[in-house]
Amino acid sequence: MMQRLVHKYPVAFFRVHTDTGGEEGNGYMRIAIIGTGAVGGYYGALLQQSGADVHFLLRRDYAHVREHGLQIYSPRGDIRLPEVAAYARPTDMPRCDLVIVALKTTANSVLDDILPHVLAENGVVLTLQNGLGADTYIAAIVGDDRVLGGLCFLCANKEAPGVIRHVDYGLITLGEYRADGKAGGITTRLENVGALLSHAGMEIQVIDDLLAARWRKLVWNVPFNGLSVVHDCLTDVIMRNPETRSLSRRLMEEVAAASAICARPIEESFLDKMMSHTDKMEPYAPSMKLDFDAGRPMELEAIYGIPLRVASEAGVAMPETQALHKKLQQLQGGS
């Protein structure tokens, strides 16, 4: 899988010329953040701090953020934004050239009523979501040629309305969506979006094969999201316990086997790297554990259900993953 790091792009105040000239013909880009939780709040705050014209769509936290703004606590520097462009309804938002979807995949059904109101005529959607299936769902709403996929390697949590704590990491891997499942290549559009995000201080990597990257992220998400819920613990406990550590590795190997049958082989050294990174990571509660502890739906379909079906249809058994999925379904109430 070809990849290249994008370095900072020197554009003053993030005012970036687009091919379409913008909705009002002023040549400047508007950015929408759909879902202002840990992911959307953190990356959206970086964008606004850099001078971007950012518009945030919120639900429960709308009134608080409208009055108090956003607060980011981060080892890379805290960010205080006392005023942000916050909206409770998509119909009140301006049409935006880049729409960043940072919702959990469990809430994707609301996008049918959001994206048609927010996306500019020649705009593009960037989905920063876990697992498989989100790109295809969004493409059905906006068109196959208007979707970019992003994978966040970010440890961050929402501590309170409008308050995000960034713990570690922050890399976003970007790729072009292809409805036929083929590699989309590194396009000019992809590089431009990568450069724009990089200018805001994000670590960005553009890749030629989005689907391969999604399988590679599942290598981490499948073991550590699920095991943190089933064993009610953080990542450091999973890694210290010989039984859960060994199970984590076996789950990784099952994901790699399923990915390989989809013509996306994952080298064993990548699994070693993920284990090593988790060993060094600050004790962390994956997003699925946070959702379960808060009584919210877990992203079982995107992280387990779809990958398991893809593997089964290709004749690949994932018994440990299937068993973990079943336990999670039982904990969530058989959903």
- As annotated, the active-site residues are 217
H/E stretch holding 303 reads none
Q: Both tokens of residue 315?
A: 């004749």
DSSP class per residue in 21-70: --TTSS---EEEEE--SHHHHHHHHHHHHTT-EEEEE-STTHHHHHHH-E
Q: Nearest 5°: CA angle at 113, between 91 and 335?
A: 140
**What is the C-alpha radius of gyration for the chain, rounded to an integer number of angstroms?**
19
1 in Cβ contact with 209 (< 8 Å): yes
Amino acid letter, residue 229: V
In whole angstroms, how far apart are CA 163 and each of 45, 106, 159, 297?
11, 22, 6, 21
Q: Please say whether the dihedral angle defined by the alpha carbons of residues 42, 48, 54 and 56, taken in this order, is positive or negative.
A: positive
Q: Chain-centre distance of CA 245, in angstroms?
A: 25
d(C-alpha 13, C-alpha 162), whole Å: 24
Of 229, 227, 230, residue with least CA distance to 238: 227
Q: Both tokens of residue 202?
A: 């994000």
- Other CB atoms within a 10 A radius of the CB of residue 243 amount to 9
Return all residues near 22 (Cβ < 8 A) that are at least 6 apart. Answer: 28, 29, 30, 97, 120
